Amino acid sequence: MNVGVKVARQVRTAEHAIDQAMIEVCKLIQTALEGRLEARLAAEVGQAALEDIVTGLNRLTTVRAAVAAGHAGLSTVADNHAIGWRLDGMSENKSILQASSSASSGVLHLAA
């Protein structure tokens, strides 16, 4: 298998794993909040823990932005060095803009 295809598949796998981790953390936040309501606890109960979890989610968004930027960079490297990497049947819609900074890449950042 072509090295470019191997890298492209691994980039896609990593991107999906990060998204899945973010989904699971969001589910954790939802479950914790619903649990607080169900247990009839005051809003202040568990606030510090919730802030820690949201901070972790924010860090995952930073990782996601970095991997997305790396994806674009690897694509450029492959094109510049004539390394084939195009995958058949696994394409995903991409945004028109491919920015180098996370601020303009459309990646959501959450503040704790």
What does the pLDDT average to over 55-64?
Answer: 98
Parent domain of 13: 3-88+96-104
- Amino acid (1-letter code) at residue 64: R
Kindly state whether residue 110 falls inside one of the protein's structural domains: no
What does the pLDDT average to over 30-42?
Answer: 98
Kindly state whether residue 25 falls inside one of the protein's structural domains: yes
**Long-range interactions of 77-80: CB distance < 8 A, separation 24+:** 78/4, 78/7
**Would you state the pLDDT for residue 99?**
46
Its pTM stands at: 0.76
Kindly state whether residue 80 falls inside one of the protein's structural domains: yes
Kindly state whether residue 23 falls inside one of the protein's structural domains: yes
Distance, CA of 94 to CA of 103 (rounded, Å): 17
Tokens of 46: 């568990």
What does the pLDDT average to over 63-92?
Answer: 85
**Residue ranges in the chain assigned as alpha helix (H):** 3-38, 47-80
Tokens of 95: 């945004």
Kindly state whether residue 9 falls inside one of the protein's structural domains: yes
In terms of C-beta density within 10 A (0-12 exposed, 13-18 middle, 19 or more buried), how is residue 106 classed? Answer: exposed
Kindly state whether residue 41 falls inside one of the protein's structural domains: yes
Q: Count of domains in the chain?
A: 1
pLDDT of 97 over the 90 cut: no
pLDDT-wise least confident of 2-11, 40-49, 77-86 = 77-86
Distance, CA of 27 to CA of 57 (rounded, Å): 11
Kindly state whether residue 111 falls inside one of the protein's structural domains: no
